[in-house]
Amino acid sequence: MQRHILRPAVGQKGVAGVKDGHGAPPIDPGIMCIHNSGTTEGEQAPMPLTIDRPTILENARLALPDGVRSGALAVQDGHIAAIGTPPAGDWTRIDLQGRLITPALIDCHTHIIHGGHRAQEFAMRLEGASYAEIARAGGGIVSTVSATRGASVDDLVAQALPRLDALIAEGVTTVEVKSGYGLDMETEIRMLRAARRLETLRPVRIRTSFLGAHAVPAEYSGRADDYLHEICLPALRAAHAEGLVDAVDGFCEGIAFDPAQIARVFDAARALELPVKLHAEQLTHTGGTALAASYGALSADHVEYATDADAQALSAAGTVAVLLPGAFYTLRERQAPPVAAFRAHGVAMALATDCNPGSSPMTSVLLAMNMGCTLFGLTPDEALAGVTRNAARALGLSDCGTLAPGLRADLAIWDVESPAELAYRIGFNPLYARVFGGAATQG
């Protein structure tokens, strides 16, 4: 029997010379990866230490759906083998000295693949310009398109890695990544290729969403239906044929696409047997949430202007409401999502960063948890569920997000006394170690 005090890796760097996605080794199938959050500005996330034999994490406190319980967690072949009482046998044992184990965090809504930034819009908003006004003036989503169209896959990967590393440093092991800043066939596909490459360079799981229906590009101004027919839907089919799409998303809003147009996109997704999700009811009430529910969407995201009837529809469909407080904060919105209605109707609520260059330039899931509590009135328990089991559900994943035997050994180990501390602190990262079980898929 081998017994260890678990200590995070200190001062390790990424593979030397890897900047734009070339040269990093693949992650071996079935390993468990542990590394700390010691990434400083300009550094890559540290490469993981590996435990390649059955291991028991003992003297731990386990954050289970029904509360915190002291005990042990056994890991074998990249999965959770047992919880509670340590199993007998020849296991490596690691003493966690009372630290808290939660499921690893999941960021279920991001736009981390993009070119450039939109810092100038920050000043415009401070002067009183609204999101819609900036968009109509040629800013917003469309302003990122030219920078993204001019970037290669290598460029997009290089720009995305620091954002991804910031998430990894907070115990995130699964990240959803959207396209939507290309708005032409070539760039939409290039964005998804870049997203797939990320999981070959970091111990992380990437889930992609095709978001061709994000905005109408300038060259199709006033011709949204033509854009869908000539660019968006063909790009979706081509990306799916290349194995680049895990789900299909859209932006249902007055400045983007109406419900009938989104329905065309969802019909195409259904024909390809792809699940759907939707940016809905962020700025106004357009009927997007009800539309998403009618298609059995994985999630309806933003949902600030959703109604009680929308909450009932989400509940009946089993669709997750993904709350995005970073955009709410950045845009200085006043209408919060109807959390009370979601609770009353049993709607699962997830939280995410919505990391994007305009309305939510945020790369901290811990901050999203705090904002979900302070801005939207979630409890700390709801916030933790929102970045673990409900976030997994929003991605259609059933093999992670909870501490349970048989699930992936994707874990976060924290130097905290209670789970509430994760949402309570601002600008503080108490991660002690991050565990990534299973294999990274090659892009």
Alpha-carbon dihedral sign for residues 176, 181, 184, 186: negative
Q: What does the DSSP 8-state code read for residue 96?
A: -
Quick one: the chain helix, strand, coil %, rounded to 5? 35, 20, 45
Share of the chain above pLDDT 90, in %: 76
For residues 361 and 411, state if they share a domain.
no
Return the CATH number at 81: 2.30.40.10
Within a domain: 224 = yes
Within a domain: 208 = yes
Annotated binding-site residues for N-formimidoyl-L-glutamate read 181, 356, 358
Among candidates 326, 281, 388, 23, which has minimal Cα distance to 163? 326
Q: Which long-range contacts (CB under 8 A, 24 or more apart) does 141-144 make?
A: 141/180, 141/181, 141/214, 141/215, 141/251, 141/358, 142/183, 142/215, 142/217, 142/218, 143/118, 143/358, 144/114, 144/115, 144/116, 144/118, 144/181, 144/357, 144/358
Do the Cβ atoms of 103 and 435 come closer than 8 Å? no
Q: What does the DSSP 8-state code read for residue 191?
A: H
The predicted structure's pLDDT at residue 2: 52
The predicted structure's pLDDT at residue 41: 40
What is the per-residue pLDDT across 147-184, written as a single tens digit (0 to 9) for each? 999 999 999 999 999 999 999 999 999 999 999 999 99
CA–CA separation, 1 and 332 (whole Å): 56
Q: What is the largest CA-CA distance in the chain?
A: 69
- The DSSP bridge partners found for residue 102 are 412
Annotated binding-site residues for Zn(2+) read 109, 111, 279, 354
CA–CA separation, 329 and 364 (whole Å): 14
Within a domain: 33 = no
- The DSSP bridge partners found for residue 252 are 257, 280
For residues 386 and 408, state if they share a domain.
no
* Backbone dihedral region for residue 126 (phi beyond 0: left; psi -120 to 50: alpha; all else: beta): alpha
What is the per-residue pLDDT across 243-280, written as a single tens digit (0 to 9) for each? 999 999 999 999 999 999 999 999 999 999 999 999 99
For residues 114 and 225, state if they share a domain.
yes
Within a domain: 355 = yes
For residues 392 and 423, state if they share a domain.
no
The predicted structure's pLDDT at residue 131: 77
Q: What is the mean pLDDT of residues 88-97?
A: 89
For residues 66 and 132, state if they share a domain.
no
Annotated binding-site residues for Fe(3+) read 109, 111, 279, 354
Q: 37: pLDDT confidence band, cut at 50, 70 and 90?
A: very low
For residues 342 and 385, state if they share a domain.
yes
Annotated binding-site residues for 4-imidazolone-5-propanoate read 118, 181, 214, 282, 359
Residue with tokens 């990894």: 168
The predicted structure's pLDDT at residue 53: 82
The predicted structure's pLDDT at residue 35: 44
What is the per-residue pLDDT across 319-371, written as a single tens digit (0 to 9) for each? 999 999 999 999 899 999 999 999 999 999 999 999 999 999 999 999 999 99
User: At residue 438, does pLDDT exceed 80?
Assistant: no
Tokens read off for 397: 């994943």
CA–CA separation, 316 and 327 (whole Å): 27
Comparing 32-36, 303-307, 369-373, the range with the smallest average pLDDT is 32-36
Within a domain: 392 = yes
Is residue 141 classed exposed, middle or buried when 0-12, 13-18 and 19+ CB atoms within 10 A define those classes?
A: buried
For residues 185 and 287, state if they share a domain.
yes
For residues 154 and 206, state if they share a domain.
yes
Tell me the residue range of the domain where 237 lies: 105-399
Domain tally, the chain: 2
For residues 61 and 180, state if they share a domain.
no
Q: What is the mean pLDDT of residues 133-141?
A: 79
Residues of 336-356 as b/e, b for ≥16 C-beta within 10 angstroms?
ebbbebbeebebbbbbbbbbb
The pLDDT mean for the chain works out to 88
CA–CA separation, 140 and 283 (whole Å): 14
User: At residue 305, does pLDDT exceed 50?
Assistant: yes
Within a domain: 38 = no
Do the Cβ atoms of 175 and 207 come closer than 8 Å? yes
DSSP letters spanning 148-183: HHT--HHHHHHHHHHHHHHHHTTTEEEEEEE--S--
Do the Cβ atoms of 32 and 409 come closer than 8 Å? yes
HSE-up (13 A, CA, CB side) for residue 176: 32
CA distance from start to end of the chain: 38
Residue with tokens 């965090």: 105
For residues 306 and 365, state if they share a domain.
yes
Annotated binding-site residues read 109, 111, 118, 181, 214, 279, 282, 354, 356, 358-359
For residues 172 and 289, state if they share a domain.
yes
Within a domain: 34 = no
Within a domain: 18 = no
For residues 238 and 286, state if they share a domain.
yes
User: At residue 20, does pLDDT exceed 70?
Assistant: no
Residue with tokens 């999203």: 368
